[in-house]
Amino acid sequence: MRRGKAPDPPIETSGLPPVLVDAVERATARRIVSFRRHVGGGASREGAYLELDRDGDRIDAFLAYDVRRASDTERADFIRREAAALQLAHTAGLPVPEVLASFPELRAILMRRADGAARFDDKSVEHDVSLDYMAQLAALHRVPIDGAGPTALGEPAETAQDHARRRIAEMRLRHGASAECDPLLSLLYRWLEENIPSGEVRTVLVHGDAGPGNFLHADRRVTALLDWELAHFGDAMEDLAWLTIRSAIVPFTPIGLLLAAYRAAGGQDIDEDRIRYWRLICHAAVITDQFRTLRQEKGTFGGTLGAVLTYNLLHRRLAVEALAECCAMPLPPVAIAEVDAPSSERFYEIALDDLRERIVPRVDDNVARDRMKGLARVIKFWKSRNRLGPALDEIERVAISEALARPFAALSDADTALANAIDARDIPVTTAIGLLHQRVSFETAIGSDLLGALADRHYEKLS
């Protein structure tokens, strides 16, 4: 009697809920026969490389998923936006991954795997690819959206001014749901509300996270534009704002050359003031979400702790520097006094030594090793916070008390009063910038080991 081929053994898909595995296999009518977790630097979403089989016909795919925030209903909209944007971009002939299936309710999207590398080992290759990338960005901003009605990407007929007002109102609402308040966010919201750019702006398809790290390349050309979960209809200058942000994080081709390439490729008219404005909205959006994430008390932590802490510190400092630039306000260096290490610092060193010498070397899983290294950086942060925090907190408490002309017993009380004064327009923007420049300088000093090279990254001048 002839026997059929024995079924392949189950594939290890640790980290994926069974319901997502089942959804992928049902949507594609294929079995997952290979699964490899992607090790990346993102603060939120995870990814996995899959091989999908149907009777010997196999395709390579990439699954982006956010299972740690499955309870956050807002995340479903990110998936809907991404799928809609990828379809529009694909129809327009842009190099984007093919969407195989999307699962908004499971916070996941499945795409055909794109070829190419994300990093550069050769500056001449980076130069050529960056010029092609700007041509792709210019082409994206020419994608026809006339006649499109409201979609997951928003309302094409919404003006840039109304779009900005809506974004700020949504951020205020999300931040207002927290028990605590952040004076920096209060200042950003206030300035953004008071300085919405005027004039008519053409609405385009905006990527929403443009720049290095969010595309692949091969043979000196862009092969795939990635990470579309923040895509929407809006002002093209927002993508150029994101380009400056990501270029400050990941060293890239000089911004002047990038903007010239965008202009030469037929991009939208460049308005540097609008770039600066949208840069602050981008920072405010990121910091608002990070504020909620870092203060959540229940449920699964919505991100990778080391990455969330790192990028929170970086975005806060860059936001203050960007706001000071908008106000033509110079920011002098802030002195950080040396503080003797407390006796409790020894315990942090013991924990770090255990991770470094006895735990990480024994772990074979690359994702786990990456997470452990992230935890080591978090321990270094709290070690520094334990040493420097009390003295720096006291300096801030006194500074805010002097600025508001009334004493506060604790920094938390001073923070609340400062945020309220900013919202009530009882304190000049420049005074608030000075106080918050001191704060982010202190935060950067405390987080220097966590930040590494990012502690010294700053914006290039636009012109």
pLDDT category, 325, cuts 50, 70, 90? very high
Mean pLDDT of 307-313: 95
Structural tokens at position 447: 């987080």
For residues 140 and 205, what is the distance between their CA atoms, to the nearest angstrom?
Answer: 7
Looking at this protein, which amino acid is placed at residue 84?
A: A
Q: Give the model's pLDDT for residue 44.
A: 64
Is a pLDDT exceeding 80 seen at residue 100?
yes
Nearest C-alpha neighbor of 139 from the set 261, 272, 276: 261
Nearest C-alpha neighbor of 228 from the set 27, 50, 94: 94
Q: How far apart are the first and last CA of the chain?
A: 79
Domains and CATH numbers, the chain: 18-112 (3.30.200.20), 123-332 (3.90.1200.10)
Q: Give the model's pLDDT for residue 95.
A: 98
Do residues 89 and 140 lie in contact, with contact meaning Cβ atoms separated by under 8 Å? Answer: yes
- CA-CA distances (angstroms) from residue 7 to 3, 33, 355, 410? 12, 11, 41, 65
pLDDT category, 11, cuts 50, 70, 90? low
What 3-state class would DSSP assign to 67? helix
Q: Give the model's pLDDT for residue 43.
A: 58
In which region does residue 199 sit, left (phi positive, over 0), alpha (psi from -120 to 50) or beta (all else)? left
Is a pLDDT exceeding 60 seen at residue 114?
yes
For residues 423 and 176, what is the distance between their CA atoms, to the nearest angstrom?
Answer: 12
* pTM, two decimal places: 0.93
Residue 453 DSSP class: G
User: How many CB atoms lie under 10 A from the CB of residue 291?
Assistant: 20
Mean pLDDT of 20-30: 97
User: How many CB atoms lie under 10 A from the CB of residue 118?
Assistant: 15
Q: Give the model's pLDDT for residue 2.
A: 44
Q: What is the mean pLDDT of the chain?
A: 93
For residues 304 and 413, what is the distance between their CA atoms, to the nearest angstrom?
Answer: 30
pLDDT category, 1, cuts 50, 70, 90? very low
What 3-state class would DSSP assign to 161? helix
Q: 352-364 pLDDT, tens per residue?
A: 999 999 999 999 8
Q: 387-437 pLDDT, tens per residue?
A: 999 999 999 999 999 999 999 999 999 999 999 999 999 999 999 999 999
What 3-state class would DSSP assign to 390? helix
Alpha-carbon 379 to chain mean position = 22
Do residues 231 and 128 lie in contact, with contact meaning Cβ atoms separated by under 8 Å? Answer: no
Helices (H), 327-461: 345-353, 366-404, 411-423, 429-446, 448-451
Do residues 329 and 433 lie in contact, with contact meaning Cβ atoms separated by under 8 Å? Answer: yes
- CA-CA distances (angstroms) from residue 359 to 329, 376, 378, 380? 48, 11, 16, 16
Looking at this protein, which amino acid is placed at residue 250?
A: V
User: What one-character-per-residue DSSP string does 334-351 give?
Assistant: ------PPPTTHHHHHHH
- CA-CA distances (angstroms) from residue 375 to 300, 359, 388, 453? 17, 12, 20, 18
The three-point CA angle 212-216-222 to 5° equals 95
Mean pLDDT of 131-150: 92
Provide the percentage of residues in the chain whose pLDDT is more than 70.
94
User: How many CB atoms lie under 10 A from the CB of residue 282?
Assistant: 25
Is a pLDDT exceeding 80 seen at residue 301?
no
For residues 433 and 327, what is the distance between their CA atoms, to the nearest angstrom?
Answer: 10
Burial degree of 411 (CB within 10 A; 0-12, 13-18, 19+): buried
CB hemisphere CA count around 40 (13 angstroms):
20
Q: 39-85 pLDDT, tens per residue?
A: 665 556 788 999 999 999 999 999 999 866 666 777 899 999 999 99
- Does residue 211 or residue 367 have the better pLDDT? 211
Is a pLDDT exceeding 60 seen at residue 35?
yes
Q: Give the model's pLDDT for residue 74.
A: 77
Q: 262-282 pLDDT, tens per residue?
A: 999 999 999 999 999 999 999
